[in-house]
Structure 1
Amino acid sequence: MNGLKLRYSRPATGWSQGLPIGNGRLGAVIQGGIETETWNLTEITYWSGQPEEVNNNAQAKVDLNRMREQFFTGDYRLGERLAQQALQPAKKNFGTHLSLCDLTLSFDTQGEEFERELNLDDAIVHHSYKNNGQSLTREVFASHADGIVASRIRSERAGGISFVLGLQGRTPYFTTTVSDDGSIIFAGKATENMHSDGSCGVFCRGMVKVVAKGGTIVGEAGTLSVTNADEAIIYFAVATDYGKSGDDWTRESGRQLEYAITKGYERLREDHIADYRKLYTRVNIDLGVSERTALPTDERIRLLMDGQGEDPQLFALFYQYGRYLMIAGSREDSPLPMNLQGIWNDGEANRMQWSCDYHLDVNTQMNYFPTETGNLAESHVPLMAFVEKLSVAGKSAASAFYGCEGWVAHVFTNSWGFASPGWETSWGLNVSGGLWIATHLREHYEFSQDREFLRETAYPILKEAAIFFLDYMTVHPKYGWLVTGPSNSPENSFYIGSNESDTYQLSMGSTMDQMLVRDLFEFCLTSAEELDTDPEFREKLRHSISLLPPLQIGKRGQLQEWLEDYGEAQPDHRHLSHLFGLYPGNQVTPYGTPDLSAAARMTLENRMGRADLEDVEFTLAMIAASFARLRDGANARKQLTYLIGRLCFDNLFTYSKAGIAGAETNIFVADGNFGGTAAIAEMLLQSHAGEIDLLPALPGEWHTGKVSGLRAKGNAEVDIAWENGHLVEATVKAFSNGRTSLRYGDRTVQLNLESGRVYRIDSNLRLM
């Protein structure tokens, strides 16, 4: 589809205007203009900190029961004080992801007619301008196929390329050595003093190599000077010692560059594009014609923000940009999943009390919301491998803090497998954080129907999570319900009765916990039945499911956030964790649970009606997806308009506003890009609660369009076309046998899917 480019007529004067590239391990944000260019380079495993043992607490269960007694008798203050004593570990060398280095290019030319763009079709950043009527071009990409970053600089005029290349580290220890063969060898260590003691972290070693046609290359004063070349190729590679032993890793980048140079730039470029397109081209989206495709992207964002006319293709661009970022940030062989900033890092999130880590109370989960629907299941793999490692580390946390079997993780984790509570119970005691991130295993299975994955990975990990909750949960003496606690509803607080000034964070049986536990127990039960295993475990699950509390509607008509109908101490809070059952879960649906759906809508309206709503990137994305689940396309689009128009930098990176959670500046957070991408997919296609739902939340502004390649649960692929707001035709491609209900509006039909068959559906849901 034409126009799916990020285009600009002005230089990128800062990181938030730069254009991102990535290969699932290496990332770069490309800034600059005619006279300068800067690559802010990152490597996904470049973390400060180190693994640290969990301190064992022999009195864990005794302490847990003492806390619970206070909550059950209504002494929340004492209960919280006891929790702080037992469940508030000291912060040690947790660490953070760090930016690696900046590669700088300084040119001696002037020019005009400058343009730069990121073409989503080839995943290459292009710069072009003219000097005395002669065209000069620069392009750069991150190759997954060859594991490097490569760039070509060309001029129409012979000898027209001259520049100086430098390399500056972003961490205290970073050294460079310039060689006579046009290369710079560098070494560094990921250390900092905010989130660790400044001495521990990952080591890196890498190389930059310049190969020129014509002209000269001279190494001097730590830089490479290229003079009067016809063309120059820049190759960049780096490796770290993360998860490695011995010293072979120190030679890895040299081997990569040697192979790349032998291969040649043209072949590198061809292989990069082929490798990228095999994923990117699976989905095409057309939301309608726009007259603004020729305008620079930053101008289109501002016009949308100002409400000046329609630009449906900007939403399509945002959707495919999200898929582009997913491919760039997370590949099947990525050593770690994407963190708070994906694989990119501007340095802002780790220079303050924030950390560029893995938040498990929505952010990391949201990073991966669009993988399955967006036909990028391979990008989901690093997260699931990470959860598997976290489940091993989480066994120590379960034993140390609760005296329980199984595994648990809390509000955040790091590259070292941190699973303990956060170091303040007010926000750090999210006991279902690990469970929430582990739901992605279930999602992957429900989309793929991969029985081997269920048997070997999803079921064993989720079974151990269920074992923890079966051991950890307790029966509420007043209601007879099986509840979690003490825990919080991230990261919110409440008051009891009418005393709004006396607030608390911890309670028993928060709604989010109960939703997640119910999904966990039911999935483990059905999986054990399908795999014909663990009969005694199944009986425990059946009994426990019967004791779980129901979802409740509060006195203001809202879906209750806690077991009791407490008052909201922060009614404008950014987190909406208790709406998990609406999205991404399916315990709340308009047709299955209309009363609960109405209560969920009331919750959304109560938050949105607050003048001081903490309107951050993930909140807007979550609200948009929630309205999509409520089949409200107008409100879903309204939230996305705000997200793109007011919470995006010029490069379409979403951000969290200054002042939120102590942020000192607007900080890029990747989850808004991925959450917004997922929300757009939810507006066009949903597959949950046993249904494939066509165009469930189509807004009037997207009245004519088409989408192809979206994935549905049950291992199916769906294409949809519509005109004037109405379905014209749909195609369902089945890759597994199964039965589903196909819905369009209030109409449903049953569809028996046979693997390998393609079903064409007309506007009345009849087979064509």
Structure 2
Amino acid sequence: MAEALWYNTPAKAWSMGLPIGNGRIGAVVLSDIDKETWSFNELTFWSGRSELSPKVYGGKAAIKEIQARYLGGDFTGGKLLAEQYLQPPKKNYGTNLTVAKIHLEFDQPSAAISNFRRELNLDEAVASAQYSLGDHNYRRETFASHRHQILVSQISTDSPQGLSLTVSISSENSDFAVANMGDALEFQAHALESAHSDGKCGVRGRGIVKITAPGGSIQVNNGKLIVKNAKSVFVFVAFNTDFRQTNNDWTSLALVQLKDAQSYAYEQLKTDHMNDYQSLYRRVSINLGNNESAALPTNERQSRFKESGFDDPSLFALYFQYGRYLTISGTRANSPLPLHLQGLWNDGEASKMNWSCDYHLDINTQMNYFPTEMANLSDCHTPLINYIESLAQDGKTTAEQFYGSPGWVTHVFSNVWGFTDPGWEVSWGLNVTGGLWIASHMIEHFEYTQDKTFLVEKAFPILKKSAEFFLDYMAIEPTSGHLVTGPSVSPENSFFTGDANDGEQQLSLAPAVDIVLIRDLFKFLIKAGSQLNTDAEFCSRLKDALSKLPPLKIGKKGQLQEWLEDYEESQPDHRHLSHTIALCRSDQITPRHSHALAESIRVTLANRQARADLEDIEFTAALFGLNFARLSDGESALKHVGHLIGELCFENLLSYSKAGVAGAENSIFVIDGNFGGAAVVGEMLLRSSNSEIDLLPALPSKWPSGFVRGLRARGNLEFDIEWKDGDLTVVTLKAFSPGYVTLHYKKYQVDISFDSLEVIRLSNSLELLSTA
């Protein structure tokens, strides 16, 4: 059975449409019976502009004064100073915007249509719709070609009367124009809005919609393309912007792309597209079992999911592969930017409110790339790594102007214009490790690939500069002698100090998330410096600082402390679980090596789940699932990723944040749940650190038999795993770099050394079966 999302009902709303993309341009395809709409987007279509940080904004003296207040327990005075020195105004920050809607209206009697089916084939990356009208069949299929950088559609029929339809373009953007261009339509778009900028600045773009209609006629009338009695219709869309362009060559690029594409037959364009896409997608295959639900339309499977106790194993597998599909479609190695809050797509909701469709650096952008390495899509990490490089460059000014420190720093939000300053309210904007958190993906990329060129040329220099900032910025807490960050937040939570005069507070010294990230940073640089035989003096400073970082602590309720002190949460129902990354995104806490701390996270999760008013949104469900997978609790992990799929995704299985949370007026598409959910499924089957790998660590009872092939692990390793009746049958390890690792499966453990390109097969008791 092909891996596909499919439906026998039309798409009446964006939340029902099917996403396609090539890493730069994308569309959500809404297939109705007598019409089809493509909600068209482009990754660089942003409002706003680049603006400099304030030249003097307090600097070192202000930071020392603020830290002194917090070290002395003066939370109110510290916050007032932070608001004075660390709360810049919001200017022309901007947001990604939807470019346009392309409308196809069909001249046909919709009431007589039967056998309607629309689907997104994940193996082909093609969205299609097909139906019958009388005795004749009709089919539409659409894809976004990465090789040719255009959107392509074929509409065909076996009816002797052929096809008749009208194509038009509309947009919510105020500065948007459509003009006739021979047998094509040209559209000019300007990314303007007034919620996140002054309504006057933003990227400009030019696009062309071109049609060919063998056997039929084409008329261009008042910004519309009218096709009559064609045997088939081919639609081509090209669009480019002036983002980072130094001349006007971009204005003619759409014509060049269309000319190139039309030199190929449609079948060749499709074959080129599929070969390019499948070179990534087919690296991994997965089978978690099947039952009768697998034959149902996707929306019916989703609606029955919870009631069945999430007893639809192939829906979990589909969701995992959907996450991989969205990664490949949204972020290719040559993409100009990484995935934003909505990936490559945009329903327009976040852009209209205070959220912005941007780069949230306190979980969302990170989660977009949680499964990338594990899911054998390391190439797709490149746009994020390039973006981190730009943040490191822009963040130098922020480090100097706001903190008087060397190195670089970035906070809770960023955009495409180099914004790295604190957010515009200290209560959530002083996430001082936001940049480090996103930069930790450079650590992960190296751990998976063992690419020393990448380590030497990119990761080590950028991460070293981040460490330089924290070494200079942190202060000694005099009572304990610990090095602490601050003022900083634990995203985006708040607490009570115990002093009634303080009220609700957000800023503190050394929230746990800061210390987890800084400890991993220092440990990585020390190890890398030793491997590269470089920066010995600097690494010595890191070792000294590492020894002074405060330990993770267990609070009076048995929970992992979110802050340095055991403060009372003012929002115990909060959606963020940032401190739990010590378990689910680090090996600082593991059940095997730090059992008490691991159990404190179990208590933390239980406390949150016990809240009837829990802020139940997409990334929270994914974080629950990831933590339970790391606790080897497969039943709980399955419950939470099942809840995500069944109740926190639209009909098209794109994840969302519920209305009422964080100021959202409507349920808003946020793509991180798709990637977080995919990561949960992967972690349930394979868990890796730099020295240990666990096989089937959180296999639930509802996946008794199956296989996964092509999953990646740290150490530049690849695994094929098979199991039956709940037990491992055989595992194959493929090494792409020399090394050694300890493998664990249930009570079994084995230490394995391997050479590059060695293939090792092991039994269910981890006994050697063969090597090659």
TM range (shorter): over 0.9
1:648-702 deviation digits (Å, cap 9, x = unpaired): 1000000000000000000000000000000110000011151111000000001
Q: Which residue of 2 aligns with 1:54?
A: 53
Q: Which secondary structure state, in structure 1, belongs to the residue aligned with residue 228 of structure 2?
A: strand
Q: Report the residue type matching 1:172 in the other structure.
A: S
Q: Which runs of 5+ in 2 are unaligned?
A: none
Q: Which residue of 2 aligns with 1:123?
A: 125
Matched ranges for 1:1-80 at <5 A:
2-57=1-56, 59-80=58-79
Q: Report the residue type matching 1:144 in the other structure.
A: H
TM-score after normalising by structure 2: 0.98
Q: Which residue of 2 aligns with 1:426?
A: 427
Q: Which residue of 2 aligns with 1:493?
A: 494
- Give how far 1:56 is off: 2.1
- CA distance, structure 2, for counterparts of residue 166 and residue 158 of structure 1: 25
Q: Which residue of 2 aligns with 1:175?
A: 177
Q: Which secondary structure state, in structure 2, belongs to the residue aligned with residue 515 of structure 1?
A: helix
- CA distance, structure 1, for counterparts of residue 539 and residue 621 of structure 2: 39
Matched ranges for 1:333-412 at <5 A:
333-412=334-413
Q: Report the residue type matching 2:45 in the other structure.
A: Y
- Give how far 1:498 is off: 7.1
- CA distance, structure 1, for counterparts of residue 524 and residue 442 of structure 2: 11
- CA distance, structure 2, for counterparts of residue 89 and residue 78 of structure 1: 18
Contact 1:365 1:437 in 2 (8 A): yes
Matched ranges for 1:560-575 at <5 A:
560-575=561-576
Q: Which secondary structure state, in structure 2, belongs to the residue aligned with residue 700 of structure 1?
A: coil
Contact 1:45 1:97 in 2 (8 A): yes
- CA distance, structure 2, for counterparts of residue 226 and residue 391 of structure 1: 52
- Give how far 1:746 is off: 2.8
- Give how far 1:309 is off: 6.7
Q: Which residue of 2 aligns with 1:102?
A: 101
- CA distance, structure 2, for counterparts of residue 59 and residue 303 of structure 1: 57
Q: Which residue of 2 aligns with 1:83?
A: 82
Q: Which residue of 2 aligns with 1:473?
A: 474
Contact 1:500 1:569 in 2 (8 A): no
Greater shift, 345-354 or 355-364, is seen at 345-354
Q: Which residue of 2 aligns with 1:253?
A: 254
Q: Report the residue type matching 2:386 in the other structure.
A: A
Contact 1:28 1:42 in 2 (8 A): yes
Q: Report the residue type matching 1:20 in the other structure.
A: P
Alignment coverage as a number of residue pairs:
766
Q: Which residue of 2 aligns with 1:515?
A: 516
1:19-77 deviation digits (Å, cap 9, x = unpaired): 00000000100003120100000000000000000012264111111111111111101
Q: Which residue of 2 aligns with 1:239?
A: 240
Q: Which secondary structure state, in structure 2, belongs to the residue aligned with residue 711 of structure 1?
A: strand
Q: Which residue of 1 aligns with 2:317?
A: 316
Greater shift, 52-61 or 146-155, is seen at 52-61
Distance change >3 Å, CA 652–CA 171, structure 1 → 2: same
1:531 maps to 2:532: yes
Q: Report the residue type matching 1:738 in the other structure.
A: G
- CA distance, structure 1, for counterparts of residue 184 and residue 268 of structure 2: 21
Structure 1's consecutive aligned runs of 4 or more residues displaced over 6 angstroms after TM superposition are none
- CA distance, structure 2, for counterparts of residue 423 and residue 4 of structure 1: 44
Q: Which residue of 2 aligns with 1:687?
A: 688
Contact 1:33 1:114 in 2 (8 A): no
Q: Which secondary structure state, in structure 2, belongs to the residue aligned with residue 736 of structure 1?
A: coil
Matched ranges for 1:673-752 at <5 A:
673-752=674-753
How large is the Cα RMSD of the aligned pairs?
1.0
1:658 maps to 2:659: yes
- Give how far 1:170 is off: 3.0
Q: Which residue of 2 aligns with 1:767?
A: 768
Contact 1:56 1:399 in 2 (8 A): no
Q: Which residue of 1 aligns with 2:203?
A: 202
- CA distance, structure 1, for counterparts of residue 18 and residue 189 of structure 2: 25
Q: Which residue of 2 aligns with 1:597?
A: 598
Identity over aligned pairs, percent: 50
Q: Which secondary structure state, in structure 1, belongs to the residue aligned with residue 263 of structure 2?
A: helix
1:459-509 deviation digits (Å, cap 9, x = unpaired): 010000000001111101121000100000000001022749921000001
Q: Report the residue type matching 1:520 in the other structure.
A: L
Q: Report the residue type matching 1:75 in the other structure.
A: D
- Give how far 1:641 is off: 1.2
1:248-297 deviation digits (Å, cap 9, x = unpaired): 01011110000100112111100000001000011001001121222110
- CA distance, structure 2, for counterparts of residue 55 and residue 465 of structure 1: 21
Q: Which secondary structure state, in structure 2, belongs to the residue aligned with residue 662 of structure 1?
A: coil
- CA distance, structure 1, for counterparts of residue 489 and residue 687 of structure 2: 30
- Give how far 1:427 is off: 0.4
Q: Which residue of 1 aligns with 2:194?
A: 193
- Give how far 1:84 is off: 0.4
Q: Report the residue type matching 1:660 in the other structure.
A: V
Q: Report the residue type matching 1:375 in the other structure.
A: N
Q: Which residue of 2 aligns with 1:138?
A: 140
Q: Which secondary structure state, in structure 2, belongs to the residue aligned with residue 702 of structure 1?
A: coil
Q: Which secondary structure state, in structure 2, belongs to the residue aligned with residue 434 of structure 1?
A: helix
Q: Which secondary structure state, in structure 1, belongs to the residue aligned with residue 582 of structure 2?
A: coil
Matched ranges for 1:218-237 at <5 A:
218-237=219-238
- CA distance, structure 2, for counterparts of residue 212 and residue 553 of structure 1: 69
- CA distance, structure 1, for counterparts of residue 570 and residue 691 of structure 2: 37
Q: Which secondary structure state, in structure 1, belongs to the residue aligned with residue 350 of structure 2?
A: coil
Q: Which secondary structure state, in structure 2, belongs to the residue aligned with residue 486 of structure 1?
A: coil
Q: Which residue of 2 aligns with 1:558?
A: 559
- CA distance, structure 1, for counterparts of residue 213 and residue 632 of structure 2: 57
- CA distance, structure 1, for counterparts of residue 532 and residue 544 of structure 2: 20
Q: Report the residue type matching 1:642 in the other structure.
A: H
Contact 2:67 2:78 in 1 (8 A): yes
Q: Which residue of 2 aligns with 1:325?
A: 326
- CA distance, structure 2, for counterparts of residue 305 and residue 241 of structure 1: 47
- Give how far 1:171 is off: 1.1
1:153 maps to 2:152: no
Q: Which residue of 2 aligns with 1:289?
A: 290
Q: Which runs of 5+ in 1 are unaligned?
A: none
